[in-house]
């Protein structure tokens, strides 16, 4: 594929301008914050629809940081194109989540071993059964090791990727009874796309809200203070 080619209408980067490893955040301003804080010589490679993306180097390794928007349709589109049209091999989502476990506090990290979902995203594969979307084991192990080395409080397990933020009947207690750690809106679609394309993915989440206690962080805190999970993600490249 020519370096002058722009493979899709949704991402303005030319082929070759996006690294094989991409760290993604729902909020494009979080991606911008990460690029400015951690990357050497970051170059903006996407501004289409305001979904900012930057490519630079971290400790000599090339990496792209980009937004993916809210919900599975949005992350599903961007990660599909990155894996299938831009040659991306690894995508790490760094995002916020609502805690379902009393042991979790605001700011704690959840590493998504698997992602339950109430979405129909997986129906497109016509499997005739229920597929269990899981993260890459190698990335997961290294992320846990990094958390241990840094002394960060974290948990590894299942999360719920929900299609609905303001759900009429959330059935929270049913997911909690199944041991689900937290709820968010994107990891399952990321894991589906990684599995189908034969690539790697991992979701690393920071607890921004607590479903049981009602505690929550501000939008500014979510954008600029969740640096622990960002540094865990950077340890994987």
Residue identified by tokens 């192990």 is 141
Nearest C-alpha neighbor of 201 from the set 231, 154, 236: 236
209 catalytic? Reply is yes
Task: Supply the pLDDT for residue 13.
Answer: 97
Q: What share of the chain is helix, strand, coil (3-state, %, to 5)?
A: 35, 30, 40
Residue identified by tokens 């995508």 is 91
Q: Could you write out the three-class secondary structure of 92-125?
A: EEEEEEEECCCCCCCCCEEEEEEEEECCCHHHHH
Alpha-carbon Rg for the chain, nearest whole angstrom, is 17
Nearest C-alpha neighbor of 231 from the set 161, 113, 149: 149
Q: Pick the catalytic residue: 27, 40, 108, 209?
A: 209
Task: Supply the pLDDT for residue 223.
Answer: 74
- What distance in Å separates the CA atoms of residue 29 and residue 102, rounded to the nearest whole number? 30
Q: Which residues contact 124 (CB under 8 A, 6 or more apart)?
A: none
Q: pTM of this prediction?
A: 0.95
Q: How far is CA 79 from CA 74, 146, 156, 210, in A?
A: 9, 25, 23, 28
- Which domains does the chain show, CATH number per domain? 21-234 (3.40.50.1580)
Task: Supply the pLDDT for residue 170.
Answer: 84
pLDDT for 101-136, tens place per residue?
999 999 999 999 999 999 999 999 999 999 999 999
User: Which residue stretches of the chain have pLDDT < 50?
Assistant: 1-3
């Amino acid at each position: 594929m020519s370096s002058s080619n722009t493979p899709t209408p949704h991402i303005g980067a030319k082929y070759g301008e996006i690294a094989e490893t991409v760290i993604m955040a729902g909020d494009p301003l979080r991606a911008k914050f990460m690029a400015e804080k951690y990357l050497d010589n970051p170059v903006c490679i996407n501004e289409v629809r305001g979904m900012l993306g930057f490519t630079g180097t971290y400790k000599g390794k090339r990496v792209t940081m980009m937004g993916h928007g809210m919900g599975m349709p949005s992350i599903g589109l961007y990660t599909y194109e990155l894996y299938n049209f831009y040659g991306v091999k690894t995508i790490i989502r760094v995002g916020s989540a609502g805690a379902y476990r009393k042991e979790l506090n605001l700011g704690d990290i959840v590493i998504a071993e698997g992602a339950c979902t109430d979405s129909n995203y997986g129906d497109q594969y016509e499997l005739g059964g229920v597929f269990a979307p899981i993260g890459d084991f190698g990335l997961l192990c290294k992320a846990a090791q990094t958390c241990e080395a840094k002394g960060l409080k974290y948990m590894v397990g299942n999360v719920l990727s929900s299609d609905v933020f303001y759900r009429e009947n959330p059935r929270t207690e049913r997911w909690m009874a199944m041991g689900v750690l937290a709820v968010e809106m994107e990891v399952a679609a990321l894991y589906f796309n990684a599995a189908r394309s034969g690539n790697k993915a991992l979701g690393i989440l920071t607890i921004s809200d607590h479903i049981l206690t009602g505690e929550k962080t501000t939008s500014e805190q979510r954008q600029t203070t969740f640096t622990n999970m960002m540094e865990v993600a950077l340890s994987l490249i």
